[in-house]
Each structure stands twice: as C-alpha cells, then as structure tokens.
Amino acid sequence: MIVQLARVILVTAGALGGFAVSQQVDWTAGTGYSESFVIIIFIILGASIGYVLGGITGREFNVACRNISARLSEMDTPALLLGAVGLLVGLLVAFILSSALLRYIERPLWLGFAATALLFVLCAYAGVALFMLPARDGTLNLGISAGTPVDTRPPKLLDTSAVIDGRFADLARVGVLEGPLRVPRFVLMELQTLADSADDGRRARGRRGLDLLTTLSAAETAVQVLEADFPEIPTVDAKLVRLALTSGGAIVTVDHNLTKVARVEGATVVNVHEVAEALKPVLLPGDSLRLDITKEGKERDQGVGYLGDGTMVVVADGAGLIGSEADIRVTSVLQTAGGRMVFGKPVTPE
C-alpha cells in the first residue's frame, strides 16, 4: 500500500514537473514538434521518472516503518515517554529557531521553506536521540520493576557463552557473583538464533541456554532482560563491551577472546573459567594423590587420569596401571591458557 501511494504521489508530481518544464522553453522552435506533442512527451517523461522513484522510495519507506515498529515494540514505557518528550522539546526549539531564521531568508521563498523543514527534522531527531540516550545505554532501566528495592550494586551482564555454560547460576547462588544478573536483549536474540539453527549442535546449545534462563526466571537467582541496544555496533561482543562501559556493569563470560578484548578496552570481566581455576586445589611437586588411570598418554609408557575437577594428570611409567587406581607423586604442575596440567609418577613401595 505504501509503495502504491508513493508512486501515485511522485507520478503526479513528475507529471506536473514535466508540464512546468515544457512551459519554460520554446521547445517548438528548437525541435520542430507541435506544442501539444512536446507537453505530452515531458508529462510522460516526468511521470515515468516519478513511477521509478516512487517504487524505490515506497519500498525504502516501508522497510523503515517496519524497523521503527520493531524497535518501538522492544522498548519499555519509560523509554517511549522520554522519546515523546524529546520530540516535543526538539519541535519547540525548531519553532523558536525558525522564527529567527525566516527573518534572514525571505527570498527566494522556497529556500526559506526548505531551511525551516530541515531545521524541524534535525531538531526533532536530536531531541529524541538525546532524551532516549539513557534508555539506549542501559542507565535508565536495568529491568527492575516498580516497587522493587533498587539494587545499587553494579549489574552482572551475561554473554551468550556464559548462559550456555550455566555455571554462573551456581556462582551467584553462593555469593561469588554479587549484584543483579542481567541478560541484554541482543544476547537473548542471539540465543534464539542458535536455538532455531539447522545445525544440531548449535540448536542444542541455544535451547540449553534458553531453558536455563526460563528455569532461573522464577528462582532466587532471577535473571532479568536488559532493554539496551547499540544499532550502530554490528557484533554482540562489541555491544556487550560498550554496555559494560556505559552502565558500569561487569561482563560474565567463558569466552577467552572476549575477556581479553574487554579488559583492553577497560571493561570489568568475570571469566567463569578463571574463577574455576582459582578454586581448584593447589598441588605442589612432592604431593601425593590417589588417581584412577583411565587411558594411555601421547608418549610411550604414559598413563592419563583426571582429578575430580577435570584437571588432567599425566603419569610417567603409568601405562601398565591403566584401569586401576594408583598412588601418584606430583613431579611438576604446568599452567596453560587452556587450564592446568599435572605431571607425576607412581609411588614406588619402599
């Protein structure tokens, strides 16, 4: 409907413009055609241009209306009220400025009208953008409903990998993650995209994350959706870093690369893997432990076992102990970017 309406308007304007052009010059003397023929040609040419431009303009306007409608449906009431106030303030400022501007632009008349229209558009846009800035960066509303005591502690912003991992809920339950848990709307949309993926692995991970958020929504460690977005930023990780910087919150993630990038940009990050590593028991060379040797190692005569927290233990001369428990003495501990590895050897009976 919008495309057809745009075409009707621009075809009419193009036809009128073509007629006006045909009257500006004596085309009959230059071309040898009759005046009526020249008028018809210019009207057809103007209407054709209007038809093409009307289709393009109508489609673009239709897409813009859909995007605006989708954005408005995602905003909460305080953000919409601020946007309306900003629009009124912008129009008021434009009215005051236009009254002074028209005194200096009296001729030609069309220039004053165009300048006034442009001034109203710019002031209206600036007013809406300025007043809705707190809603965009997350400082207006952190998802706390009316009547709920305000939690002044910095929020913990969950990224997609942390939601899928799920260990953040246990950390929050025991008090390691202090402050309200928030999942931004763009992270929730990425989880939905994963859950709708054709790939079985990605679909399972997305559904696991959504199921966990649904379970926690009524639990003691409730996670609330944060209505904030940065349309000019293309990636979810970059949006999360910007949100953390503007709101003063901390990113909760298990993504090693996101952790490094966020810290370089000055954002606070809680990496669940790092917390788990810090809570692992300390093993020093010379310590003894009881270990179940489960498989062969990469090197000859090596056996491999795992501690209760998943730490790999490589046992020299342990290939003959596969499938049994053995007393192991720690010889060295290696800390890597992917975790910790322990090296040991069987305890020789004296």
pLDDT digit string, tens, across residues 55-75? 888 788 777 777 666 666 555
Calpha distance 223→155 (Å, rounded):
11
The b-or-e profile of 245-282 (16+ CB within 10 A means b, else e) is bbbebbbbbbbeebbeebeeeebbbbbbbebeeeeeee
Burial class (CB in 10 A: 0-12, 13-18, 19+), 194: buried
Instruction: Return phi, psi of residue 181, to 5°.
Output: -90, 130
- Give domain limits for the chain: 2-135, 156-278, 283-346
In 3D, which of 159, 218, 217, 205 has the Cα closest to residue 186?
A: 159
Predicted local distance difference test score (pLDDT) of residue 146: 42
Predicted local distance difference test score (pLDDT) of residue 100: 67
CB atoms within 10 A of CB 190: 18
Pick the CATH number of 283-346 from 1.10.287.130, 1.10.1200.10, 2.40.50.140, 3.40.50.170: 2.40.50.140
pLDDT grade, residue 153 (50/70/90)? confident
Q: Quick check: 161 and 205 in contact, CB under 8 A?
A: no
pLDDT grade, residue 220 (50/70/90)? low
Calpha distance 168→222 (Å, rounded):
12
Calpha distance 96→111 (Å, rounded):
18
What is the model's pTM? Answer: 0.48
The answer on pLDDT for 219 being more than 70 is no
Which pairing describes strands 325-336 and 312-315: parallel, antiparallel, or unpaired? Answer: unpaired
- Which has more confidence, 80 or 16? 16
- Which has more confidence, 113 or 142? 113
In 3D, which of 111, 242, 252, 247 has the Cα closest to residue 168?
A: 252
pLDDT digit string, tens, across residues 261-296? 989 988 888 888 888 777 777 778 888 888 888 888
pLDDT grade, residue 148 (50/70/90)? very low
Predicted local distance difference test score (pLDDT) of residue 143: 45
The answer on pLDDT for 157 being more than 70 is yes
Q: Helix axis angle, 35-74 relative to 2-24, nearest 10°?
A: 150
The one-letter code for the residue type at 261 is V
Predicted local distance difference test score (pLDDT) of residue 18: 80
- Which has more confidence, 315 or 80? 315
Burial class (CB in 10 A: 0-12, 13-18, 19+), 198: exposed
Classify domain 156-278 by CATH architecture: 3-Layer(aba) Sandwich (3.40)
Predicted local distance difference test score (pLDDT) of residue 76: 60
The answer on pLDDT for 140 being more than 60 is no
pLDDT grade, residue 144 (50/70/90)? very low
Q: Which residues, other chains included, contact 97 with Cβ-Cβ below 8 Å and sequence gap of 6+? A: 119, 123
Segment 77-81 shows an average pLDDT of 71
Q: How far apart are the first and last CA of the chain?
A: 92
Segment 187-213 shows an average pLDDT of 86
CA 251 to the chain's CA centroid: 13
Query: What token pair was written down for 316?
Result: 């020299």
Instruction: Return phi, psi of residue 90, to 5°.
Output: -60, -45
